[in-house]
Structure formats: C-alpha cells, structure tokens
Structure 1
Amino acid sequence: MKSFKTKLKLNNQQKTILAKHAGVARHAYNWGLATCIKEYEETKKRPSAITLHKRLVAEVKSINPWYYEVSKCAPQQALRDLERAFKNFLTIPERGFPVFKKKGRKDSFYLEGSINILQGNYIQLPRIGIVKTYEILPSVQVKNVRIASFRGASLTKKADSWYISFKYDIETAPTEKIGETIGVDIGINTLATCSDGSKFANVKAYRKAKKKD
C-alpha cells in the first residue's frame, strides 16, 4: 500500500465546486452530530452512520437542493467520520467528545468511485471533472508496473490551497515468456544433448573418428 499527496492547481470555478463539497460535508456532519445528541438525550441510543444517511436523504437533502450539486460521497463519508469520532471518544475519552465543524477550519471531503489518474499531472474526479496537480501523479510510468487498486481520495484545504491525497496498490505485470527452457548435457563424443532430443556433434571428436577410419 502506497500513499500520495500533492497540491492541486485549480481555477476559480474548480475552487468553488470544491468549496461546495466541503460545505455539504460539514453541513451533514453537524446535522448528524445534533441529531445524535438529541436522540441520545431522549432514548440513550445513538443512530448509526447508515441510519443517519437514510434520514439525511429523506429529511435534509430533499429540502436543500444544493446537496445535489456535489458528489453523494461527501455527506456519506462525513457521517462515517462522525460515527468514528463517537467510537474514538468511547474507547479513548482523551480524544474528546465530537465537536461541530466551523467553516474555514480544516475544510475537507472524501470522494470515491470514478476517479481516474490521467497521463502526467491530471486526475479526473466525480462531479468535479479533470483537475491539474503540481506534481506528476503515480501511474504506469515504470515498465511492467501498474496501479492495481485505488482507494478513493481525500481533499483538504490549508490556507488558500487545496490538496489531494490517496492510497493505492501496485502490482508487477508478468513478463512475456520469450521461449521454452531446454536442459543441455555436455559430452565428449557428442558436444551437447538437449532435453528435447536434439544432438550436436563435437567437431574435434568427429575429426579424430574420421582419421581412424
């Protein structure tokens, strides 16, 4: 498993759509946190990320059309992150109770699905399109090596810049078989006898035999 992170080279339109994704992820996270707090106070139970997502689609997404402008992965992963934050708090209390996210502080979101690394420093992201990176992306740049699996991508904002990071596996492609392997026995009278039955005469031995004749 390998990791890669690089800065994105975005135009204004792309910066806007990334900000929308981060906004939806933040909204879903905060809604989920408020819902969990309320339900726990009432029932002493906390809904799972799957239950929260079903309610989000029915209760929140339907009345907030801007949810449809971004990839569905952004709010889904935000609710998974919330569930993980609760589990971390229960197992390691020192990490603290989950807190509400604020705009402009650690803006981020996650994408998966139709993500394609293109030639050079371009990558195609769902609902965002093709974006350029400042570094050459890992791809089939080395002979007989290719990316075997791609694990989605995280996009985070630091200051005024956006970064993309992802994990991937690589595998070595099998080299082409040039020919069959043949065993060879070296002899005196017969120079070589191959495993396929072929024989090659020893020239010196052949000449000595001819002189005796």
Structure 2
Amino acid sequence: MTTNVPKGSILAPGGTVVAPDPGDPICAAYDAALKDWCATPKDDRGDFNDAVFDKLNDPALAATRERPIGFIGGARAAGGPRGVLGLRNLASQGGYGSRVARRALGVINQMAANPPASANTYSALRHQMSGATRGALRRRFRVHRVLCPDAERPNGRPVEIKRPTEKESHPGQLSNYAKASPDGTVELVNCAACKLACKDWNSDCEGYP
C-alpha cells in the first residue's frame, strides 16, 4: 500500500486517511524541512521527522511524538479480542482490559504533560510504566506490535509524517493507526497531502530545494 494517498481515501473498513487542514502549520514546516534536508549533504541529514519538528512551533504536538495509541494483539486462549485495539477506545469499554488501558493512558498523559528528554516517547514510556501494566497488556491481549505514530492531535487522531519515498513501516501501518484512532482516521503529512511540488516519488529530493 502506498503512503501517497489523497485526502479522504478509504484505507480499510473503519479506517480513513485524511490530509492536514488547509493552511495547517505542519505543511509549511514539512516544506521548509524538506528543502533544508535536501540541501544538506546526504551523510549529514539526520532524521527527517526531527527536521520537521524543528520547523514546527507546536509544543503540544511535539510532546506526543512516538506515543503509543494502541496495539495489534492476538486472541486469548479463552477467546479474547484480536486485531487492532486503540487504547482510548479500549479504555471506554469497561472491564479488566479497560482498567489496564486506563492505567497505560495515565502514564502516557503524565508524560505528555512532562515530556521526556528523549524524542522517543515510547522508549521512555517503557521505563515509566509498571511491569504489572505491561504484563497485563501482554497476557490479556497477546500484544505483538505497539502502534506509535509520529504524533497525535489533541483529539487523539494519529499523525504520520512520510518523506516522498517513505513506505509504511509495517504492512497496513496507516490503516492500523486509523483503526486505533478515536475517530477512525489517521492524518498523513507528505507532499501529496500538503499539495507540495514534489516532482518524483522515486526520489526524496527531486525538485527540492
């Protein structure tokens, strides 16, 4: 599945990709970051997302980088849920799984209010969250992939930033993020979504700067 998907395209049942709102600062930041990134010698470019956030003055969005929003799990032996589960969605359902999800969200929200020094919030979360909560998630849902988008909007919508040639990091990545999202959507930030003049999808820097 390509990541160069225009606004409103259906990715999978219950999952939709949308573009940023018109005029959103993240597109201007993406454009400026891509120009600078492409003007830098290849060996010195560093992480592209870091370049975008360096151009984006949005502390709230920056605080949600790589924050878990859900997971892909397998069925329990007794017949538990399988597939993609969003933490916010799970927390509202009641029962043991809901309590575990709320504990996980409590740690995540504390970290959003006091961002860790590391840019990788998930790595920091593993140190902050109790072993009991991690163990409960694994036992209850047989978690085999934690879903960590590049950032989150205040309403919980995941935001994924992709270089022009960047592919999904795992099969169905965008669809999985959308399924874990409270509103069933994932926001894609790339050249097509921001309507930028990237000339060649086979080259990150064709036409830039």
Bin of the TM-score, shorter chain as denominator length: under 0.3
**Greater relative CO, 1 or 2 (CA 8 Å, sep 6+):** 2
Q: Under a length normalisation based on structure 1, what TM-score does the superposition of the two structures give?
A: 0.27
Q: Under a length normalisation based on structure 2, what TM-score does the superposition of the two structures give?
A: 0.27
